[in-house]
Amino acid sequence: MDSTPVIQEAVRVLREGGVILYPTDTVWGIGCDATNEKAVARVFEIKRRSEAKSLVLLACDLDMVAKYIKQIPSIAIDLVEVNDAPMTIIYPGAQYLAPNAVAADGSVGIRIPVVEEEEGPEGPRKAAPKGGLTAGAFCRELVRRLRRPLVSTSANISGEPTPESFAGISDEIKAAVDYVVPKPFGAGATGRSSQIIKLGLGGEVEILRP
């Protein structure tokens, strides 16, 4: 299946303030444009989740992160460059994002989706199952074309178990969103959560989830 029309439709919905159900490099998620306050509010409503709880956002690269963080701690660059597994970094000093996408202390968690690799005749290469992109590659391309950070929160009602696959997502969630990415593009979604690291401008590093 060609990923281009799927990504184009998802981006159209997101730019119009819609909410989508889509695969990430970890789990299937509910997402919206992280700069759109009304869209972010809908995500909380769909999940029946308090806006007091923070959200994770996805960016396609560090350049995008830099647009929405006042000052990136230098250690973040090293962490991103050497990282080969899903890792969410909580940055201080968020800016230009929807107020309800930012934590009370002004911080925000952002992850750059991991693009899966596989061994080929000439060594590691980006993995792409027959017919499309893997979840990480699909997700990063989606964010790149949106040109804004994308909300990424697990596709479940708050307090209920996180679905390990598309099959585990409730009909209520599927019916509540404006667009559902076809499940073949979920190849590579692990069903596991990412590591979470909180950084401070003074070089502080706190591992919240190994």
150 and 31 Cβ atoms separated by less than 8 Å: yes
Total domain count, the chain: 1
Mean pLDDT of the chain: 88
Q: How far apart are CA 118 and CA 194, in angstroms?
A: 20
- Is 102 or 130 the better-scoring residue by pLDDT? 102
Structure confidence at residue 202 (pLDDT): 84
The domain that contains 54 carries what CATH number? 3.90.870.10
149 and 94 Cβ atoms separated by less than 8 Å: no
With b for 16 or more beta-carbon neighbours within 10 A and e for fewer, the 125-142 pattern comes to eebbeeebbbbbbbbbbb
What's this model's pTM, rounded to 2 decimal places?
0.89
Q: How far apart are CA 78 and CA 180, in angstroms?
A: 35
Domain that holds residue 46: 3-209
Check pLDDT > 90 for residue 114: no
Structure confidence at residue 63 (pLDDT): 96
Interval 149-189: pLDDT, tens: 999 999 999 999 998 889 999 999 999 999 999 887 766 67
